[in-house]
Every structure is written in structure tokens, then in C-alpha cells.
């Protein structure tokens, strides 16, 4: 088996990207997907993304977690596939593409990609945390001394104990300044802390606003892999015009042979 692949990263959240418009990739082979994402025996990535033909959009995004299973929306992956589509000549600077959670608009800019996320109409604020879905389910929890926080142990426990087998992504947050927050995320499917999570920082921005901690309609989120900007409109029905903005970078390209 032989096929070309591209390695992308968006603020350290990395992906194996494959042009599958001709259906060259055996996407039911979960073991192959997990192997490609394996950092010891494969290319190494947080997930694998297929770019496919779409009837009602410029292209379709199909996302798989590092465990080989198809997953919910990935914000950083969405930004990276937009840059990938432009590189392939599928789009120019503006696009509308299909993902598992519906249609997404995006624009390629000089400093990265601006991706419109789905509207959010339900945000559940509990005593110690907030839960919402931004294309993927997210738990958002404020903590102190985030640099020293055990994200892996605490995130894994919350992912399983509160959310069961299906799980949720777990975001730990600390305030840096009035308009800047620090975020670290434990991702289900990867089952580890990742350097960045696009749907996660989107969830953090909305959760902070819903809790009253954030007064503005945009915020910079500092992750271990870099800084992302989230902006949105808040209204009586929830949150709309939500944009995730940041870099999307091609690392290298190669050919997988097995």
C-alpha cells in the first residue's frame, strides 16, 4: 500500500492529512489510522484527516482520533484542512466545507485561518465547571497554578468518571490578564494532553463569557502550542458568529509505503 500524505500542525495540534477525493485511503481500517498516528511506529499525530469530495460544499472533512476511530469536530484540524485545500488548488482564500457537525465557512489570511464554528445555544454552568458542545463535548474548569497542574491525571479522571464511556474533552483554565487566558486540554481519543485544542479553546471562551468572567466578545487563549483568538456574538438565544482564528502550518509531506 502506498499513498501520499501531508503533516500539518495548528498551534502544536498535529494531523496526518490525506487527499482522498479519489477514495484511495482504506478509511475503515482503524488499525492503519492508529498506526499512522503512532509517534513511535508511524508518522505521529493527534489525528488523521481526509479531504473528500462534497456535493453541497467545496469539500468534506472526515476526522479520526489517534485511536483510529472517527470523531466529532476538530477546530484546529478544520483550520489546517482549509490551508490544505488551498494548497491542493481546491479553493482560493474563501471556502465553505462540510464536517461532521455541518457546514463551516473559513477564510485563509496571511497569519493563518479564520474558521466559523457552529452556533452554541446550550451552556450548562455547574458549581465547579461548565459543560457545552462546540462541535465536540467540552468540560471547562477554572484552576490555579495551571503550569504545575496535573492535567493528565485529573483530565483522565474527569473524562471517565463524569462522562462515562463516551467521554468529553477536559479543559483547565487560568486567567493571565483581563483579555488573556491560559488553557490546557486533555483530549478523549488521544487520551492525553494535547498542545492545543480548537473546539476546546472555543468552549473556554464561551464558558468564560457565560460565567461572567469574560466581559468582551473576544479573547486570546494561550495553549502550550501557541495562541488562538476566539470571537463571537452573544444574544438571548445563545452564541453565534463564533470564529476560531490562528496559524495552520504545513510541516512536511511524504509517501506512506507498507
Cβ count near 6 (within 10 Å) = 22
DSSP state of 120: B
Out of 74, 113, 242, 248, the active site residue is 74
Helices (H), 68-185: 75-88, 151-161
| Alpha-carbon separation of residue 142 from 116, 177, 192, 227 (angstroms) | 25, 14, 19, 18
Give the span between the Cα atoms of 211 and 129, in whole angstroms. 10
Out of 45, 51, 197, 201, the active site residue is 197
SS3 8: strand
Would you state the cell numbers that stand for residue 258, as one nine-digit string?
507498507
37 is catalytic: no
Give the span between the Cα atoms of 133 and 18, in whole angstroms. 27
197 is catalytic: yes
DSSP state of 146: G
With contact defined as beta carbons under 8 Å apart, do 240 and 209 qualify? Answer: no
Give the span between the Cα atoms of 21 and 94, in whole angstroms. 19
User: Catalytic site residues?
Assistant: 74, 197
Amino acid at each position: 500500500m502506498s499513498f501520499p500524505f501531508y503533516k500539518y500542525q495548528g498551534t502544536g495540534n498535529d494531523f496526518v492529512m490525506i487527499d482522498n477525493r479519489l477514495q484511495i485511503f482504506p478509511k475503515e481500517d482503524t488499525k492503519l489510522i492508529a498506526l499512522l498516528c503512532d509517534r513511535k511506529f508511524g508518522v505521529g499525530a493527534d489525528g488523521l484527516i481526509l479531504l473528500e469530495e462534497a456535493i453541497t460544499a467545496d469539500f468534506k472533512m472526515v476526522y479520526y482520533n489517534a485511536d483510529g476511530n472517527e470523531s466529532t469536530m476538530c477546530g484546529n484540524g478544520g483550520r489546517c484542512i482549509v490551508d490544505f485545500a488551498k494548497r491542493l488548488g481546491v479553493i482560493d482564500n474563501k471556502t465553505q466545507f462540510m464536517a461532521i457537525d455541518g457546514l463551516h465557512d473559513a477564510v485563509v489570511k496571511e497569519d493563518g485561518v479564520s474558521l466559523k464554528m457552529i452556533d452554541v445555544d446550550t451552556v450548562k454552568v455547574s458549581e465547579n465547571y461548565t459543560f457545552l458542545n462546540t462541535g465536540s463535548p467540552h468540560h471547562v474548569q477554572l484552576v490555579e497554578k495551571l503550569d504545575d497542574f496535573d492535567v493528565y491525571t485529573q483530565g483522565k479522571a474527569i473524562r471517565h468518571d463524569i462522562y462515562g464511556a463516551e467521554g468529553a474533552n477536559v479543559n483547565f483554565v487560568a486567567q493571565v490578564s483581563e483579555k488573556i487566558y491560559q488553557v490546557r486540554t486533555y483530549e478523549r481519543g488521544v487520551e492525553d494532553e494535547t498542545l492545543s485544542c480548537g473546539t476546546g479553546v472555543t468552549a473556554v471562551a464561551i464558558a468564560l463569557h457565560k460565567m461572567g468572567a469574560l466581559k468582551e466578545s473576544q479573547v486570546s487563549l494561550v495553549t502550550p502550542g501557541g495562541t488562538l483568538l476566539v470571537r463571537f456574538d452573544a444574544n438571548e438565544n445563545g452564541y453565534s458568529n463564533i470564529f476560531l482564528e490562528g496559524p495552520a502550518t504545513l510541516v512536511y509531506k511524504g509517501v506512506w509505503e507498507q
